[in-house]
Amino acid sequence: MLGSGFIGRFYADSIQAHRSKDKIVSVYSRREQSARKFAEDYDVPHWTTEMEAAVNHPDVDMVCIALPNNLHEAAVMACVKAKKAVITTKPLGRNAEEAKRMLEAVEKAGIFNGYLEDLCYTPKFLKTLESVQGGALGRILWAKSRETHPGPHSEWFWDLEQAGGGCILDLGCHCVEISRNYIGKDIKPIEVMCWAETQVKPIPAEDHAIALVKYENGAIGQFEVSWTFRGGLDLRDEVMGTEGTVWVNNFLRTGLEMFTSGKGAHYVAEKAESNTGWLFPVGDELADLGYNHMFTDMFNACDEGREPRETFYDGYVVNAVLDAAYRSAKSRQWEPVKLEIWRGREGVQQESTLTDYDDQYYLIKEEVIHDGRTKVILKDKQSGKVIEKVTA
Ligand SMILES: NC(=O)c1ccc[n+]([C@@H]2O[C@H](COP(=O)([O-])OP(=O)(O)OC[C@H]3O[C@@H](n4cnc5c(N)ncnc54)[C@H](O)[C@@H]3O)[C@@H](O)[C@H]2O)c1
């Protein structure tokens, strides 16, 4: 484990949960005190303040990167040098250029690579994706994902050089990959229109942004991200297709509601702003945030010699979409997504979903009206004229 901070601990709690046989065998942290404490807390036999010592440790089969964004590339290159399997937290790079270098390096070295996009492994996400892929929603038209909270928990996030961006990069990376999964990973994201602003915090980066991501098949992705939202961690997705809709609330409303006067108050959930009054706790954060399914997929994939669901390539595509969002926020125009490496389909056209009513008409809409009769709106195939008919 490289890093012993917030996400390193979430990962460790998940990897070594329940009766798991998976084990962290070495931990690197820049400060001896943190490395030692993490090793004690998680019963890790080896700790070090030298990154390469952890990567090269003979008992290490796979390296998990849980370091600030500006250190991902150096850590990945250490794994490439040691030819060790590597999984890294999001975002893969601070931009697509960094991400592409990492992608090319791991593929050239032939090492296993996984992108730790936990929100594409939540139980609700996996269930929704199964329904979407099974056709329950028809052709996907719109996939919106929102992640907003009151701001990150460590100083480096707020430093543009180390973080590489503000809430677009930090939170938008989750949202883009969620929408991409629903729309289809083989469908090319082509352009982005983004509004971004620093509305509240005294920082050079954006603390609030909204963007539209256009896909080649005509579907639209949308992300809403903020570091200035008050009220906890709001993680919501909405998918709309020609045959249905899904609304997912991953965190603030999970069905568990509680009131406390504050007596005996304790930790409620990530980024919860209060532990008194009416609360919306999360039953099992590790499961609800996707960590358990994510590590299971990563380790199984590595054992079975296959790719995991989320790879460095996915991380690279996400970075390319976010780069376009940053360009658009500046130019105030739709900006193209520059994908020097694209492995999906090319030249996909929007599918036709015209429904025949009879030989003469297409069906536009059918509705039962209040007196119980059925009304249909039809379009003449030859003249294009729109008519309505009420049937008994
Ligand atoms: N849901 C998620 O997937 C999720 C959530 C939070 C963070 N993250 C990602 O995890 C990574 C780490 O974030 P975090 O929240 O754990 O941050 P953190 O500040 O809590 O922990 C960072 C770790 O890196 C170490 N570190 C900091 N600066 C360093 C330096 N200059 N040299 C060496 N080590 C240094 C810290 O000591 C600590 O161990 C980031 O890339 C972040 O985007 C992912």
Q: What are the strands, taking DSSP E only, across the chain?
A: 26-28, 46-48, 62-65, 85-89, 113-116, 140-148, 189-197, 208-215, 220-226, 234-241, 245-249, 258-260, 277-279, 335-336, 355-356, 361-368, 374-380, 386-391
Q: What is the pLDDT of residue 353?
A: 78
| CB count in 10 Å sphere of residue 98 | 20
Q: How many CA atoms within 13 Å lie on the side-chain side of 275?
A: 10
DSSP class of 126: H
Residue 318 shares a structural domain with residue 192 = yes
pLDDT in tens, the chain (392 residues): 999 999 999 999 999 999 999 999 999 999 999 999 999 999 999 999 999 999 999 999 999 999 999 999 999 999 999 999 999 999 999 999 999 999 999 999 999 999 999 999 999 999 999 999 999 999 999 999 999 999 999 999 999 999 999 999 999 999 999 999 999 999 999 999 999 999 999 999 999 999 999 999 999 999 999 999 999 999 999 999 999 999 999 999 889 999 999 887 788 889 999 999 999 999 999 999 999 999 999 999 999 999 999 999 999 999 999 999 999 999 999 999 999 999 999 999 988 878 999 999 999 999 999 999 999 999 999 999 999 999 87
90 within ligand 1 shell (Cβ under 6 A): yes
The answer as to whether 294 is a domain residue is no
Residue 150 shares a structural domain with residue 185 = yes
Q: What is the pLDDT of residue 352?
A: 81
DSSP class of 185: T
Residue 166 shares a structural domain with residue 259 = yes
**Cα–Cα distance, 7 to 354 (Å, whole number):** 48
CATH of the domain at 222: 3.30.360.10
Residue 191 shares a structural domain with residue 318 = yes
Residue 131 shares a structural domain with residue 265 = yes
The amino acid at residue 248 is: V
Q: Please, what is the angle between helix 96-109 and helix 312-331, to 10°?
A: 170
CATH of the domain at 69: 3.40.50.720
Domain that includes residue 185, residue range: 119-284+312-336
Count the domains in the chain. Answer: 3
233 within ligand 1 shell (Cβ under 6 A): no
How buried is 19 (Cβ within 10 angstroms: 0-12 exposed, 13-18 middle, 19+ buried)? Answer: exposed
Tell me which residue of 76, 80, 4, 85 sits closest to 40, measured CA to CA. Answer: 4
The answer as to whether 307 is a domain residue is no
Q: How far is the CA of 135 from the centre of ligand 1 (A)?
A: 38
| Its pTM surpasses 0.85 | yes
Locate the ligand 1 atom nearest the alpha carbon of residue 9 and give its number. Answer: 16
Q: pLDDT (tens digit, 9 = 90+) per residue, 293-343?
A: 999 999 999 999 999 999 999 999 999 999 999 999 999 999 999 999 999
The answer as to whether 101 is a domain residue is no
φ, ψ at 165 (rounded to 5°): 175, -175
Residue 145 shares a structural domain with residue 271 = yes
DSSP class of 157: G
The answer as to whether 277 is a domain residue is yes
Residue 170 shares a structural domain with residue 246 = yes
177 within ligand 1 shell (Cβ under 6 A): no
The answer as to whether 295 is a domain residue is no
| CB count in 10 Å sphere of residue 253 | 11
| CB count in 10 Å sphere of residue 182 | 27
Contact between residue 200 and residue 228 where contact means Cβ atoms under 8 Å apart: yes
Residue 156 shares a structural domain with residue 30 = no
The two structure tokens encoding residue 47: 């700790």
DSSP count for the chain of H helices, then E strands: 11, 18
Locate the ligand 1 atom nearest the alpha carbon of residue 170 and give its number. Answer: 43
User: 37-58 burial string, b = 16+ CB within 10 Å, else e?
Assistant: ebbeebebebbbeebeebbbbe
The answer as to whether 195 is a domain residue is yes
Residue 148 shares a structural domain with residue 181 = yes
Nearest 5°: CA angle at 121, between 255 and 2? 115
Q: Which mutation among 4, 6, 15 tests ligand 1's pocket best, with the greatest number of atoms within 8 A of CB?
A: 6
156 within ligand 1 shell (Cβ under 6 A): yes
The answer as to whether 56 is a domain residue is yes
Radius of gyration (C-alpha) of the chain in whole angstroms: 24
Residue 236 shares a structural domain with residue 328 = yes
**Cα–Cα distance, 280 to 301 (Å, whole number):** 35
Q: What is the pLDDT of residue 178?
A: 98
Place of tokens 């052709």: 139
Contact between residue 345 and residue 188 where contact means Cβ atoms under 8 Å apart: yes
Nearest CA to ligand 1 atom 30: 30
Residue 74 shares a structural domain with residue 167 = no
DSSP class of 158: G
**What would you measure as the largest C-alpha separation in the chain, in angstroms?**
80
Q: How many CA atoms within 13 Å lie on the side-chain side of 374?
A: 6
Q: How far is the CA of 5 from the centre of ligand 1 (A)?
A: 6
7 within ligand 1 shell (Cβ under 6 A): yes
The answer as to whether 291 is a domain residue is no
DSSP class of 269: S
**Cα–Cα distance, 5 to 286 (Å, whole number):** 16
Nearest CA to ligand 1 atom 35: 30
Q: What is the pLDDT of residue 391?
A: 87
Residue 197 shares a structural domain with residue 64 = no
